[in-house]
Structure 1
Amino acid sequence: MILSLLFLSLNLSSLFRLSASRGSAADRFYRSGDVHVDGIYVRSGRQLLAGENFRMTEEQYIQMLDKLAQGYMSNFDLDKAIKDFHRRCSNISRIYSIGKSVLGVPLWTIEISNMPGKKEAEPAFKFIGNVHGDEPVGRELLLLLANWLCDNYKSDPLATLIVDNVHLHILPSMNPDGFALRRRNNANNIDLNRDFPDQFFPLNDDMDLRQPETKAIMNWVDDIEFTASASLHGGALVANYPWDGTEDKKRKYYGCPDDETYKFLATLYSGSHYNMSKSTEFPQGITNGALWYPIYGGMQDWNYIHHGCFELTLEISDNKWPNASELPTLWEYNRMSMLNLVAGIVKTGIHGRVISSDEGKPLPASITLRGINYTIAASKSLADYHRLVAPGQTYEVIVTMPGYKPKSACVDGDRAVTIDFVLEPAHGNDSQVLEGSGCYIGSKSRFQVMEYMPEPQLQLYVLLIILISAFLCLAMRKKSLRSNHHMVNQRHSPQPKRAAV
């Protein structure tokens, strides 16, 4: 105990509203490339019913969106706003581009942290806005979020918690070309949220055919090991979670291995929202994607499957393109949801590092929870891991690494827990299979709880542990000798005889 303590639907104002970005029942009739069909409005790959007497040409559609775009940042304005933010808040931010769009527009990203650009044993979170060009609310709210964090750092506890304990990355616009063209798809008329590799069908497997925006996201996630993520959409009001598709293409509930954790994260967002959780269409304001309607090649499922990143698809506005005068209200409705979702990855979950007992070096081990068929990996550089879980359960964490004996520990999912695993090398015929449940709550022999430490200091800390242990042993031995001496003195002193009964 002493050692542990030491190391511790598009809206034209009052005229009409179009249906959801992720969709409605009409979205199942998927057609691509058309803009207008008699009696039916087809927008960027989504076929939407618009009334018997309603007709709109492509030119009228563009003119309408141009009017709606008044008051929104142009791509030039967004570029300037990002750079202005960094100049104002350079102490907690950096800006970088993850790539370029089809038309060569940089995909500028903001990182917010008390140590921006530095690798730390902390979770990373990313927000992505404007995946679809005609859903611009997200790009506006993400700039407001960045500025709010800058303005309230060190004065607001939530802002300070996020900046000090999370590396937050914000990509305001994934699809600047679609925004400029006033359409859902990118400049090549491809829906970017259908352009990722799919788990059920051989879609988008040819890297050469992927869009540059998609490639940029994939390279970005390869480079930074994100714990969680959210993409911001418009046209509905709901927090959507995996799976997005089904093996048989049928519309039904189809949960991923971490279904309970995803429902917790989705509820965390909807419950903090002004009115999302009051939805009459979606109980609690959340939905499984495949139950709403199946899609394939989506970004959300790809993040979880290939990188252990828990991503939500957030529909944050009933209208795809509301009047700019509504943006301050939409910001207030979504602000606490966005903040609580990011803060949730440090307020809950299981965190720590995996190191070797012989050299104290970081190990990029595999982390699993007994009973959940899903594995995440500790980072390659610092071997830190961040495993999100649903509260209300006890979890057995199992850590494995080739060449080392596995270890496990039991944790309570109701609060954030930090556990550093120290793995011993496996020699000869040593078993690398974990025997028994390994679930011993409070057993410090199964795990060690320590504060994060930089890699160069690990060996020094191990040596320090040995020295402190030796000191404590000597102190206890001296105390024992004094106690024995006192007992001997008492034994030789006259004692009154006990009466016999």
Structure 2
Amino acid sequence: MNNLFFFFCLLFASLFKLSFSRGGFPTSINVSGVENCSFAASARHLFADIKVSLAEEMHLKRLEELAKDYMSNSDLENAIMSFNRRCSGISRVYSIGKSVLGVPLWVMEISDKPGKEEAEPAFKYIGNVHGDEPVGRELLILLANWLCDNYMKDPLATLIVDNVHLHILPSMNPDGFSLRKRGNANNIDLNRDFPDQFFHMNDDPGAHQPETKAIMRWLDEMHFTASASLHGGALVANYPWDGTEDKKKYYYGCPDDETFRYMASIYSRSHHNMSLSEEFPGGITNGAYWYPIYGGMQDWNYLHAGCFELTLEISDDKWPNASELPTLFEYNKMSMLNLVASVVKTGIHGRIFSSDEGRPIPASIAIKGLNSTIHARETLADYHRLLVPAGKYEVIATMPGYKSRSTRIVLGEEAMTVDFVMDPAITPINSFLQRGWNCSLPGLHLEVFFILVLILVSVFLCFLLKRRVVLNYPKQRQSKRSVLGV
């Protein structure tokens, strides 16, 4: 009997060794003192491992069942194209790139003049950043169709379409969705893949995931005023900063902390019950105070492009039953609409021109006391600066080669237009030309005129020098002949 018991102990020990060799646990088991069967502790690890595997398997099966009533990636693409055909007068569809597995990242632009540059703010919504948080992709399709159905009928829909360029990316992570996991096809969390301000992570441009690169190119091409990404697993509007310098958890606000709190509150107060949260006062939170993260998209938007982005947790359940989606849309609809409308209804807006020719110039706009600067667009020189209403501000416009301009304003509850006309800086060359020449050259800068004069003088001097050489050449030959006695 003892021999049989010893045999079974050795058999189980060998089985454990085979299991642990690939799972990260110790690969050797002490079977000395067979009476005690000391591999029992390892057995507990194995059974725990099996329990976790079974739980994961059950979870995946549950997600597969739930996903049957959600749009697949193909369904989502068809829904986007169908929307564009139905609402072609106020929309266009374009791709910003592809996922790891080659799925196009489709964007819907909604505007009365889609695809055309206007002196209007641009806003973007991004859904499905995490593959296992699919509510956002469904709600964004519903939002696009609601705007289409209610344009010229509902005042808020009409305001947005006529005055904002709204860009909607329903799914940033289609691969993660199809795989039913948080990360992308390379198992990378896309909301940890952006360059970070505090730590040297993700600094190599070539190392970013294709989805991350697509977002970064998009920000370089488009001039977004504000944006939001839709997540699941909580009910709160999150704002920068998302991390801290020492990786500890505490409130760490960015320079525009008050403005971000105001934006987050617009979403929370417009929501069915977000502002009633017992966990998050007012339904909003500073990201670092909640829990610090690094390499996030939210902070990168603000730092890199001056785009004011929120991270919106819109459903306590990451993957609710699809029958709940219409209700979730109704709970979030006014929040999504009011957040987009805020880029038109609040803050300061304007354009910047040069005084000498009246042409638009892409100057920078700063607010005294805030270490934050936004830039006017290159082509139209329009800017859109979000600020908390009912405040006093000093607005400063700067541009290399021009004198800075500033103005003090009292911002009410509605948006204010603040245009700037900037004078070219007086350089020593300009000053000399203006005093000595006192000439007027319409359509030409004095600097350009001065350069042209220098070029003409140089050409004339070269001509005289060449002519002198040619005229002296016969005399030189005659002198040589005399010397040689020819």
When normalised by structure 1's length, the TM-score is 0.75
SS of the equivalent of 1:56 reads helix
Q: Distance in 1 between matches of 2:332 and 2:265?
A: 13
CA offset at residue 406 of structure 1?
1.1
Map 1:98-497 → 2, pairs under 5 A: 98-414=96-412, 415-428=414-427
Alignment coverage as a number of residue pairs = 382
Given the alignment, which residue of 80, 87, 90 partners 1:89?
87
Amino acid at match of 1:214: T
Contact 1:411–1:417 under 8 Å retained in 2: no
CA offset at residue 409 of structure 1?
1.4
Q: Distance in 2 between matches of 1:253 and 1:176?
A: 33
When normalised by structure 2's length, the TM-score is 0.77
Amino acid at match of 1:211: Q
CA offsets 1:312-365 (integer angstroms, 9 cap, x no match): 000000000000000000000000000000000100010011010111111110
Q: Distance in 1 between matches of 2:73 and 2:82?
A: 14
Q: Distance in 1 between matches of 2:65 and 2:407?
A: 58
SS of the equivalent of 1:373 reads coil
Structure whose residues are more often helix by fraction? 2
Q: Distance in 2 between matches of 1:332 and 1:111?
A: 22
CA offsets 1:265-295 (integer angstroms, 9 cap, x no match): 0000000000000000000000000000000
CA offsets 1:32-63 (integer angstroms, 9 cap, x no match): xx9xxxxxxxxxxxxxxx9xx87634433321
Q: Distance in 2 between matches of 1:75 and 1:403?
A: 50
Q: What residue is the counterpart of 2:77 in the other structure?
A: 79
Amino acid at match of 1:386: H
Amino acid at match of 2:425: A
User: Which range moves more in the overlay, 401-410 or 85-94?
Assistant: 401-410
CA offset at residue 428 of structure 1?
2.9
User: Which range moves more in the overlay, 121-130 or 420-429?
Assistant: 420-429
Given the alignment, which residue of 47, 67, 70 partners 1:69?
67
CA offset at residue 68 of structure 1?
1.4
CA offsets 1:243-280 (integer angstroms, 9 cap, x no match): 00000000000000000000000000000000000000
Q: What residue is the counterpart of 1:474 in the other structure?
A: none
Amino acid at match of 2:234: A
CA offset at residue 413 of structure 1?
2.7
Q: Distance in 2 between matches of 1:428 and 1:139?
A: 55
CA offset at residue 207 of structure 1?
1.2
CA RMSD for the aligned pairs? 1.7
Q: Distance in 1 between matches of 2:420 and 2:264?
A: 30
Q: Distance in 2 between matches of 1:411 and 1:160?
A: 29
Contact 1:396–1:410 under 8 Å retained in 2: yes
Q: Taking CA–CA contacts closer than 8 Å with sequence separation of 6 or more, which of the two structures ends up with the larger relative contact order?
A: 1
Q: Distance in 1 between matches of 2:428 and 2:315?
A: 60
Gaps of 5+ in 2: 1-22, 24-47, 430-442, 444-486
Q: Distance in 1 between matches of 2:350 and 2:181?
A: 44
Pair member with larger Rg = 2
SS of the equivalent of 1:287 reads strand
Gaps of 5+ in 1: 1-33, 35-49, 431-458, 460-501
Q: 1:83 to 1:299 in 2, by over 3 A?
A: same
SS of the equivalent of 1:111 reads strand
SS of the equivalent of 1:250 reads coil
SS of the equivalent of 2:252 reads coil
SS of the equivalent of 1:83 reads helix
